[in-house]
Amino acid sequence: MLLAGKVAIVTGAAQGIGQACAERLAREGAKVVVADVNDELGTKVAEGIKSSGGEAFFHQCDVAERLDVHNLIAAALARYERIDVLVNNAAVLDDKPFLDLEEAEFDRVIRTNLKGSFLCAQAVARQLVKQITEGDGSGSPGAIVNMSSVNAWFGLPDHVAYSVSKGGIAQLTKSMAIALAPYGIRVNAVGPGSIATPMLDEVIKDKAFRTKVLSRTPLGRFGKPEEIAAIVAWLASDEASYVTGTTVYADGGRMPLNYVVPVNE
């Protein structure tokens, strides 16, 4: 098991990629704090992990509320006494063309995706540093994995705030990795392409949009949340001990593609 005995917080873990990460980390031996605004689904995910023999609990948290994040860290420490891993995954999507995008919507997306990631990462990093400076030197220093996107790189005219937030995550990942390197704490990101989760429900159901997405996906299919979770588990583990400040793209070959590929469906 990659993460035996470690304690991991996964944000936005009530469904989709976050849920897959929480479940995978638990299977790798981590004790998992399932953090999300969605009480009902988040509780189900934690219960599911426990009924499969893992260890987890749900904690309701809006990642963009400083007090909520403070309480999340306190809850994790109260239950498991330390933190080793943060998966900074919670995010929301705007869906208006640039010219119609309202200020409040821009703020909502940046607040959750970027400020939320910053608040969680800083709070966890402070705890990791405390464990390193006050601890007995045993154990590894800890790791943070941010959920980025291919849209940290590509521009999306109908999801401007989202793309901006993911561009920010790329810089947050690099800057934090350098800031925390002296402690041995690693910070990386995963950049998914199009993954079949509730966030992409409408795209997947709409034939024309599906074709558009698949024409930009050389592997010819949407990704599965579990395929992202596998990378997160590796980056969070000591197996990735010399990897920091980087983004691993898992996009079915979209980033290197110029033009389009044929769609066979």
- Between CA 25 and CA 54 the distance in angstroms is 9
Number of residues that bind ligand NAD (CB under 6 A): 29
Among 77, 199, 204, 243, binds ligand NAD (CB under 6 A): 199
Quick one: tokens of 261?
Answer: 């590929």
The closest alpha carbon to 128, from 116, 113, 112, 139, belongs to: 139
Stretch that binds ligand NAD, among 153-161, 188-196, 209-217, 253-261 (CB under 6 A): 188-196
In eight-state DSSP terms, residue 99 is G
Q: Which of 46, 73, 195, 214 binds ligand NAD (CB under 6 A)?
A: 195
| Maximal C-alpha separation, the chain | 58
**Which positions ≥6 away from 136 have C-beta within 8 Å?**
none
Can you tell me which of 7, 15, 83, 161 binds ligand NAD, judged by CB under 6 A?
A: 15
Contact 195, 149 (CB under 8 A): no
Q: Does 90 bind ligand NAD (CB under 6 A)?
A: yes
Count how many Cα atoms sit within 13 Å of the Cα of residue 7 in the half-sphere of its side chain. Answer: 20
Is residue 117 within 8 Å of 187, Cβ to Cβ?
no
The nearest distance, CB 18 to ligand NAD, in angstroms, is: 5
Decide if residue 127 touches ligand NAD (CB under 6 A): no
Q: Is 163 in the site for ligand NAD (CB under 6 A)?
A: no
Would you count residue 155 as binding ligand NAD (CB under 6 A)?
no
- Would you name the residues annotated as active-site residues? 162
Choice between 108 and 174, CB closer to ligand NAD:
108
First to last CA, the chain: 38
Does 252 participate in binding ligand NAD (rule CB under 6 A)?
Answer: no
For the segment 19-58, give every residue that binds ligand NAD (CB under 6 A): 36-38
Q: Does 92 bind ligand NAD (CB under 6 A)?
A: yes
Q: How far apart are CA 237 and CA 143, in angstroms?
A: 8
Closest-by-Cβ residue to ligand NAD is 16
Say if CB 126 and CB 119 are below 8 A apart: no
Tokens in use for 109? 């997306």
- Kindly indicate which of the ranges 76-84, 94-102, 189-197, 254-262 contains the residues binding ligand NAD, using the contact rule CB under 6 A: 189-197
Judged by the rule CB under 6 A, the positions of this chain that interact with ligand NAD are 11-12, 14-18, 36-38, 61-64, 89-92, 112, 116, 147, 149, 192, 194-195, 197-200
